[in-house]
Amino acid sequence: MIRTPAALCVIADAACIPVNGGGQPAATAFLYNPTSGDGGYADFRHGGSCSAGFADGHAASQSEIAERPADGGGWRDRLGYLSRDDRAYDPEFEE
């Protein structure tokens, strides 16, 4: 039922921006998709890469940040999404 299992991320390094906006990104157990307008972002904390697992069972190191949070800068630059649209997060995504 998943259209592109090799492209659908089911688990990854993730973080969210702390409520008070200071400190470091807080680790989190959830990823949100780009259209959610919220983060659990992928956290590209391993030398500019994040580890991701996909619905077909493979894992990969992802280094391309498709889109960063609007209020980027500093440590926020290592947070972002795996795709500009929801294709990496939504099993029923259609263009």
Q: Taking the model in full, what pTM does it have?
A: 0.85
Q: Which of 66, 53, 56 is nearest to 4 (CA)?
A: 56
Q: Under a CB-based contact definition with an 8 Å cutoff, are residues 83 and 62 in contact?
A: no
Mean pLDDT of the chain: 89
More confident residue, 28 or 58: 58
Q: Under a CB-based contact definition with an 8 Å cutoff, are residues 31 and 9 in contact?
A: yes
pLDDT at 70 (0 to 100)? 78
SS3 48: coil
More confident residue, 63 or 25: 63
Q: CA-CA distance, 57 to 17, in Å (whole number)?
A: 29
- pLDDT single digits (tens) 39-77: 789 999 999 999 999 999 999 999 999 988 877 778 888
